[in-house]
Chains A and B, each alone.
Chain A
Amino acid sequence: MDYVKLINCMRCGMCLPHCPTYKETFLETASPRGRVALVRKFQDGELVESEKFLEYVSLCLDCQACASACPCGVNAGELVAEFRCERKNEKGLSLMEDMVLRKLVPHPDRLEAATAPLRLYQKTGLQKVVRSLGLLKMFPEALGRMEGLLPKLPDAPLRQTIKEVTPAVGKEKGTAGFFLGCVMSLIFSEASLATVTLLSALGYKVVTPKDQKCCGAPNMLGHDMEGLKDAARFNTDLFESHDLDFVVTDCGGCGAELKKYGHHLDGEEGATTFSAKVRDISEVLAGEAGALKELLKPLPLKVTYHDACHIAHCQGIRSQPRTLINLIPGIDFRELPEADACCGSAGTYNIEKPEMSDRVLSRKVLNVQKTGADYLVTSNPGCLLQLKKALSEATPPVKVIHLTELLQMSMNA
């Protein structure tokens, strides 16, 4: 760990009001400034890795709101993640972490096979029976929470059903590569289909290489840098083998990771070129605002927008999604208080730290209710899962959709 990064923290406290866990606890140990201090004291040998110490450093959601707020350019979230990674590698992964984060999630084939029984479970009506009988309480808590978050799965993952090449409508402007992402393809395939439809309607040929691998973010979570580098090399070579003007994704997490390939592969030329080509779908569409406006029809809805951490804090994309929502005629856009605060999903945080995750989520739900919106738009699958469940149970319920789904709704209106 680079010690200079730790001493760059001037302890000004500017990060505190942006940290979701500080806002819930008011405890310095649950703040970015405090976590940097803890890691530094550990490096200085003033603190040991006690149970409390681990509890404090693992309470970070890694939402990186602190990085956006820091005047000195310290990324406390990333420093803590890096620290946890280093410690983990010293001590080794648990069997479960090794299986899920290294052997399962990074491989689309295995992941799709593993989730096939889930589709069956929903299709046969078994899910309804389990839920209505309250059998979820009998699962181990983490598994029960995971099941509870699951919306209705599509019949098949998008990766299996989408054509490798989707032609442009009308005169072809260029070629876009489409990076699918695991959860988007497995669960939110309709949103991803909307992404492809929008690109094609705007005159882009869309190439979706079928054997693309996971972006590597789960490897990162599993503290597996080698796995991450393998994924980065594979995807870079695969996408660079097609003649693409840019590579688009509608998953905030994938976008943030793909844009870091150059960094992960220590500035290798191919990876840097690839990373420079990666765009979040909102960046592409905002660049086409004029043409897109022609395609949109009135949609009289009250809409608000949640900034996913991986979109706002990791990629700095804030204005584009709002511009796009406001392009829709008749839309009543209402700004969400604390819009760029984490929703508590944060990778697997909502499973691992349910209590804090729920507190962070409750704040988000209250803020959404304050807007009086009927629809909440966001563009990251983790947020979609977390917020869909919470807001479907709110009174009155609020519908949660991906940005591209909203735009497609307007196009089809």
Chain B
Amino acid sequence: MENSFIKALAEIVGAEYTLSDPESLACYGYDSTPELQSRPGVVVLPKCTEEIARVMALCDGSGIRVTPRGSGTNLSGGSISFDAGVVLQTSRMNRILEIDEENLTATVETGVITSALHREVEAKGLFYPPDPGSMNISTMGGNVAENSGGLRGLKYGVTDDYVMGLKTVLANGDILKTGGKMVKDVAGYNLNQLLVSSEGTLGVFSEVTVKLIPKPQTKKTMLVHFPQLEQAALTVSHIIAARIIPATLEFLDRTTIKCVEDYAKVGLPLDVDAVLLIEVDGHPAQVEEDAAGIREICERHHCSFFQTAASPEEALKLATARRVALSALARVRPTTILEDATVPRSCIAPMVKLIQDTAKKYDLLIGTFGHAGDGNLHPTCLTDERNPDEIKRAHQAFGEIFEATIAIGGTITGEHGVGVAKKKYLPKLVGESGLRVMRGIKGAFDPRGTLNPGKIF
């Protein structure tokens, strides 16, 4: 990267926030995606929309590519610059600008941490439901760019369902405002929704306005053991079919249960195929009724154990098994490849079975846990990056798993994005016409291909 260009960036964001020493570049060469790394040419941390706009105009004019980045928790390589360009990190833009109690909206700068927004709105008796696993560090801008999900997706939906307005800096530095505080707005194309899950390829968000809802009055947490996988999966389908929509309906398979128990000793059974963690929330009477209905369905499907939390502390204890699933798996082997296969929820059982068979075929250790209620599974391969043969087998196995996912009407990612990690599977999923439309949209927003090159397509 030329010194004069770095100097020009420093004039915009300040020398302290323009990083080009080899140590800094090494530290911005990764995100949370296993195996992927590539050093950027320079890193900038702007403080406001105008600074982002000036950085973009400068880069677009100079033919230098820009990769936006929040806290770097991306799991598909989306926040890594693969062409030694500029990494633009938004963490310094971290003010909650407004919580509007009349319109039930919150407006935040793009670098606000998701759980910080949770705390602020919950203190006012309001609720922002999206709760990705990384919510304690992921930024709101990143959540919007990846359309993040979380444990409450089943009942409350994902980030997409809450984004009402965006302020976005386009590739050439223009500022685009879409949506706002209006509940109804049908003027022209829905650019707002288009920008959500654009993975930093269409613009850099600087402000986000989200919808808030009243905080649920109460909740009930249940942990259920199933000796057979089939029965757990049928229970999931039948709970939904009985018109009960839990806030959370999470699943752990046998491999995951064993790892969780080995590490956390939370009292999980080692002789069952599956565990479900179920949480219902809302009006107390409705919560009671839903919980009773769920219990009846679980028992009808031969659960071996049904436990309801009597207090918030106990609820937390029950939820521990699910919360520590990734931790437990990550402690088994050094390299944890966490995937994101998503199927219609009626296909959970065959999908888990297929993952287990594929693991056996390739002699791999794969634990599966995830959001059973919305069909979003996280098969997680426990491996060691120093063993190239094992890594190769892991990729072969995931190739087969994704082929099968697409074949049964599922998708290659439910909440982590395509990035670079999944782009080889995208054409199979969306077809030629899908790709042509997407490329056309990209061209309309970013004709020179300045923003986040090499991602998605």
Contact = CB atoms under 8 A, between A and B. Distances in A.
Nearest to A48: B22
A31 B26 CA distance: 13
Contact of A13 (B34, B72, B94): B72
Nearest to B115: A17
Nearest to A70: B327
A37 B72 contact: no
Interface residues of B, number: 36
B26 A38 contact: yes
A26 B92 contact: yes
A28 B137 contact: no
Closest 6 interchain pairs by CB?
A71-B327, A26-B91, A28-B27, A72-B330, A34-B27, A13-B73
A71 B24 CA distance: 24
A52 B21 CA distance: 8
Contact of A71 (B89, B111, B138, B330): B330
Given A13-B134, A37-B26, A50-B23, 9 more contacts: A7-B385, A12-B73, A13-B71, A13-B72, A14-B134, A17-B113, A26-B94, A26-B111, A38-B23
Nearest to A28: B27
B307 interface: no
A38 B136 contact: no
A8 B34 CA distance: 11
Interface of A: 4, 7-8, 10-14, 16-17, 26-29, 31, 34, 37-38, 41, 46-47, 50, 52-53, 56, 71-73
Given A7-B334, A14-B136, A26-B45, A47 B32 contact: no
Contacts of A52: 21, 23
A26 B30 CA distance: 16
Nearest to A3: B386
A26 B91 CA distance: 6
B331 interface: yes
A13 B330 contact: no
A72 B331 contact: yes
Contacts of B137: 13-14, 16-17
Nearest to B116: A17
Contacts of B24: 27-29
Interface string B79-111: 000000000010110100000000000000001
Contact of B32 (A11, A26, A38, A41): A11
Interface of B: 19, 21-24, 26-28, 30-32, 34, 45, 71-73, 89, 91-92, 94, 111, 113, 134, 136-138, 324, 326-327, 330-331, 334-336, 385-386
B26 A13 contact: no
A16 B34 contact: no
Contacts of A12: 32, 73, 134
A12 B327 CA distance: 11
Nearest to A30: B27
B19, B136, B385, B386: most-surrounded residue (chain A CB, <10 A): B136
B238 to A, nearest CB: 33
30 contacts: A7-B385, A8-B330, A10-B32, A10-B330, A10-B335, A10-B336, A11-B72, A12-B73, A13-B32, A13-B137, A13-B138, A16-B71, A17-B136, A17-B137, A26-B89, A26-B92, A26-B94, A26-B111, A27-B19, A28-B28, A28-B72, A34-B27, A37-B26, A37-B27, A38-B23, A47-B23, A52-B23, A71-B324, A71-B326, A73-B327
Contact of B23 (A10, A16, A56, A71): A56
Nearest to A71: B327
B contacts with A: majority SS: loop
Contacts of B136: 14, 17
B366 to A, nearest CB: 16
A84 to B, nearest CB: 15
A72 B327 contact: yes
A7 B335 contact: yes
B28 to A, nearest CB: 6
A256 B211 CA distance: 47
Contacts of B385: 7
A28 B80 CA distance: 14
B22 A47 contact: yes
Contacts of A29: 19, 23-24, 27
B335 to A, nearest CB: 7
**Most interface-central of A16, A31, A53, A56 (chain B CB within 10 A):** A16
A17 B30 CA distance: 18
A46 B37 CA distance: 13
Contacts of A72: 327, 330-331, 336
A124 to B, nearest CB: 46
A40 to B, nearest CB: 9
A14 B336 CA distance: 15
Contacts of B138: 13
Contact of B31 (A11, A47, A50): A11
B56 to A, nearest CB: 20
Nearest to B336: A10
Specify which of B91, B324, B385 lies most central, judged by the most chain A CB atoms within 10 Å of its CB: B91
B27 A73 contact: no
Contacts of A27: 19, 24, 45
